[in-house]
Chain A
Amino acid sequence: MSEFVEKAVSVPTETAAGRRPIGLLLVAIPVFLVIWLVIWPAINAISRTIWRTDADGHSSFDLSSYAFFFSDRYSLDNLAVTLWTTLVCAVLLLVICLPIALYLRFSHGRLPAYVQALAILPMFVPSIILAFAFIRVLGPNGMVDILLNAVGLPKIRTPYLTPWGPVIGLVWDNIPLTVLILLSGLGSVANQSIEAARDVGANTIRVFWHIILPRISNSILVALSFSVLGIFSSFTLPYLLGPASPEMLGPFMQRTLRDVQDPIGAMTQAVVAFGFCILFGLFYVRSVARNRGK
């Protein structure tokens, strides 16, 4: 009898112990990938840009590549246009996606289903296809120009190869993720809490401002953080649609590495971009933690 009890007690312990290696193994794969593909290259890049080897083979602490980046007019212009593009995209995404998400959350029927499908569509269109579609439609002698010409109107000032080119492409590209995150946040706003607000006298704007917005502030932060991080380090759309000078950090890095053949300069740009992304990330974590604490 006592042997039976002993066995019965020992079984769950054995099972839990048996599961532990599987759990650790499952976690180990992504952790290993993050270390291999993100943390190690980041540490490597930082160390190689601040611990430089001179022509005589002597290694020493050297911040000259950073001093160059932050004193070079061209590099600073590129950083500025990257920050400008990111900021404008974030604002436009919020202005465009929040009304779409609100409409999808509070409407019923077939039309919202079509709108949702349309809003999610860019997710399935590769960036390169999107870029060439943009050029064919809004580029010089594109579809819009042809249509305007057909009705005797002058051509538009095309945003292609201007800072607005990447903005339009990146906003289009980020609409699906932003709408989905905002929609999931709006899902936590109960219909009855909105009705209760209307019952005590709140009109539509006040309901949005006092009831809906505070409840989805975390979702807005998450959506913007995801978009900002993606846009800041984007490459394809700025490369294909943006101007050559100034250019966003993504194409700038590629050109510094391939055309100028300056790996240390490209790594310095990457570390600067990484630093800004960490700042955005910290802002996001701090805001979410503060909201959770409320």
Chain B
Amino acid sequence: MSVLHIAEVTKTFSGGTHAVNSFSLDVADGELVCLLGPSGSGKSTLLRMVGGFEQPTSGRITIDGEDVTHLPPERRPTGMVFQSHALWTHMNVFKNLAFGLKLRRMPAGEIREKVEAVLELVGLAGYGDRMTNQLSGGQQQRVALARSLVLEPKILLLDEPFASLDQHLRERLREEVRDIQQRLGITTLFVTHGQDEALSMADRIVVMANGKTEQMGRPDVVYRDPKTPFVAGFIGTMNLVEGEVTNGQFTRSDFTFPLPIADGPATLAIRPEALDLTASDTPKATVHRVTDYGSHGLVDLDLADGTRLKSMVAHPDLFRTGQGVDLKPRAVAAYRNNQQIFRS
């Protein structure tokens, strides 16, 4: 059983920048938690603090109850997979994997056995003699993963491991990594700025901004019920419409929508798949562009004041540029002062 506990961790760089600000997180045994956020949100710094490559300014990090806050990386029960693979190019694949085991003074036979087993696990059986520069990007990333796994770390740390790979390979590898993680039941902290990766792989997502947690929860919950406009805008595609509520009616340009909240400014959030379009004699928006993705279509719309909205439609061939349409939101959320105040 391996549990990671991060308590009130803060990292302040010289100049007073708070990279991570009073951050707390518990990762359960065998759980895969994704730290998701834009560049500069502090997710990589946090991961590096768990790995021991950065020292927290304050706070505490424990693994299975043992305080590792001030331990150097070589003495932590963690294994990190780096974005750039960080393979040692002067060693072949076998030596890359065996290096950590040799440092632990393991007998040669046992090293060979373990390395071959983990190469099999990542689908690279028989690649031990290859030099790392003879491998493709995907194979190099598998070697990097195998190098961490062969040491059987209590916590696996993945720092944007697929960022340098193409889309197709990224999708394939994230499935493989998820399979391996579940098979081994290894507690994993995964950093990414790709929402697709986070939504498809994580047991739990932590959305970060400015070194703090914006929202934490199951991927489907975070997607369906974003608690702040930042999360709403960051996870998936979202129409965020700023307007005014008067007498229970939200208004932006010609677009109105009944919203049972107190009068005042508000931000209305509507997912493209929850925004239906209908033909109307009194259109509220004009079709700007129609994009057919085969399985569905995406219609870009302009309100009279130029506000751009998106709607996902099943039959894009029914719409054409310049066409006037009425907007029928099926589900909305409303935000005021950075807080969710209404959800339908």
Contact = CB atoms under 8 A, between A and B. Distances in A.
- A and B form one complex: yes
Interface of A: 190, 192-193, 195-203, 206, 210-211, 214-215, 294
A197 B99 contact: yes
B90 A200 contact: no
Contacts, number: 62
B148 interface: yes
Interface in B54-101: 72-75, 78-80, 82-84, 86-90, 99-100
B151 interface: yes
Contacts of A198: 52-53, 72-74
Interface in B287-329: none
Interface string B153-182: 000000000000000000000000000000
Sorted nearest first, the 8 A-B pairs with minimum C-beta distance are A200-B100, A192-B86, A196-B86, A198-B73, A214-B90, A201-B103, A192-B82, A201-B74
Given A192-B82, A206-B103, A199 B87 contact: no
B227 interface: no
Interface of B: 51-53, 72-75, 78-80, 82-84, 86-90, 99-100, 103-104, 144, 147-148, 151
A215 B90 contact: yes
A190 B89 CA distance: 11
A201 B151 contact: yes
Contact of B86 (A195, A202, A206, A215): A195
Given A192-B82, A202-B74, A210-B99, A197 B88 contact: yes
A196 B72 CA distance: 13
Contacts of A192: 82-84, 86
A196 B88 contact: yes
B80 A195 contact: yes
A200 B103 contact: yes
B103 A199 contact: no
A159 B148 CA distance: 54
A203 B74 contact: yes
A227 B82 CA distance: 38
A196 B80 contact: yes
Nearest to A195: B53
Q: For A199, A202, A210, which residue has the most chain B Cβ atoms within 10 angstroms?
A: A199
Contacts of B87: 193, 196
16 contacts: A190-B84, A192-B82, A192-B86, A193-B87, A195-B80, A196-B80, A196-B82, A196-B144, A196-B147, A198-B73, A199-B80, A200-B99, A200-B148, A201-B75, A201-B104, A214-B90
Given A197-B88, A201-B74, 13 more contacts: A192-B83, A192-B84, A195-B51, A196-B82, A196-B86, A196-B87, A196-B144, A196-B147, A199-B51, A201-B151, A202-B103, A203-B74, A214-B90
B73 A199 contact: yes
Contacts of B148: 199-200
A118 to B, nearest CB: 24
A195 B72 CA distance: 11
Contacts of A199: 51, 73-74, 78-80, 148
B318 to A, nearest CB: 48
Contacts of A196: 80, 82, 86-88, 144, 147
Nearest to A211: B88
A280 B79 CA distance: 44
Contact of A201 (B80, B89, B100, B144): B100
Contacts of A210: 99
B119 to A, nearest CB: 16
A190 B88 CA distance: 10
A204 B332 CA distance: 56
Nearest to A213: B90
Contacts of B86: 190, 192-193, 195-196
Nearest to B150: A200
A294 B89 CA distance: 10
A294 B99 CA distance: 18
A221 to B, nearest CB: 15
B52 to A, nearest CB: 8
A193 B74 CA distance: 14
B186 to A, nearest CB: 15
Contacts of B147: 196, 200
Nearest to B95: A210
Contacts of A200: 74, 79, 99-100, 103, 147-148, 151
Contacts of A214: 90
Which of B79, B90, B148 has the most C-beta atoms of chain A within 10 angstroms of its own C-beta?
A: B90
Contacts of A203: 74
A107 to B, nearest CB: 14
A294 B72 CA distance: 33
B241 to A, nearest CB: 43
Contacts of B99: 197, 200, 202, 210
Contacts of B89: 215
Contacts of B52: 198
A210 B89 CA distance: 12
B88 to A, nearest CB: 6
Nearest to B97: A200
A192 B44 CA distance: 13
Contacts of B80: 195-196, 199
A115 B16 CA distance: 27
A195 B84 CA distance: 12
Nearest to B100: A200
Pick the most buried of A198, A202, A211, A215: most chain B CB atoms within 10 A of its CB: A198
A193 B99 CA distance: 13
Contacts of B73: 195, 198-199
Nearest to B48: A195
Contacts of A193: 86-88
